[in-house]
Amino acid sequence: MLRAKTAVLVSGGGTNLQALLDAQNSGIIKSAEITLVISNNAGAYALTRAEKAGVKSMCISKKELKTQEAFEDAIINALEENGIDLIVLAGFMSILSERFTSRYDHRILNIHPSLIPSFCGQGYYGLKVHEAALKKGVKVTGATVHFVNEIPDGGEIIAQKAVYVEDGDTPETLQKRVMEQAEWIILPQSVEKIAEQIIK
């Protein structure tokens, strides 16, 4: 295997997807090739980013498929049809069941916008994570890349990077700093690290 065929699962803006595409172009990612983008939301700007980069993309909607099982089966079919080796959850706002995660043991990475085990697990996603960090009054937060297992945000940690909270931060300003100073750096680095291990 020359490069690990990688699928990126998204739901929204897709800035982490963009960081991965940019890292591929700049050579930071050389052991993985992003060949598929799957969104669970048809309106996600991440789909436009994939299209602009010439990467195959599709929407798989849980609403339309009705059950978790049918939703996951449709994702599995897309992954198998495209010969995917590595799956990256980059702002994917849907929890995957054990039936799905156990099938891809140590093959699914997730980026979470806090230093796990703080502010993580069910209900902690997107801006809610930063709202909780500000409410608690922590002075340092950050981001974590981890393997995905059946426990939300509970899989083995691959990388973490700390970011300072500043006086006057809002959830939005903190989110932006955590993305710029941590997420967009450690996600591409982690994808390269794990893809390199897979192709060996």
Binding site for ligand GAR (CB under 6 A): 10, 12-16, 46, 90-91, 111-113, 125-126, 129, 179, 183
Residue whose pair of structure tokens reads 């495209």 in the numeric block:
82
> How far apart (Å, rounded) are the C-alpha atoms in residues 23 and 17?
10
Q: Which is nearer to ligand GAR, 81 or 123 (CB)?
A: 123
**CB 152, min distance to ligand GAR, A:** 8
Q: Which is nearer to ligand GAR, 12 or 188 (CB)?
A: 12
Q: Which is nearer to ligand GAR, 20 or 84 (CB)?
A: 20
Asked whether the beta carbons of 83 and 5 are under 8 A apart, the reply is: yes
**CB 2, min distance to ligand GAR, A:** 27
Rounded CA Rg of the chain: 16
Catalytically annotated residue among 106, 112, 130, 146: 112
- Name residues whose C-beta falls within 8 Å of residue 30's C-beta, 6 or more positions apart in sequence: 3, 192
Asked whether the beta carbons of 107 and 85 are under 8 A apart, the reply is: yes
**CB 89, min distance to ligand GAR, A:** 7
> How far apart (Å, rounded) are the C-alpha atoms in residues 189 and 142?
16
Q: Any catalytic annotation for residue 106? A: no
Residues noted as catalytic: 112
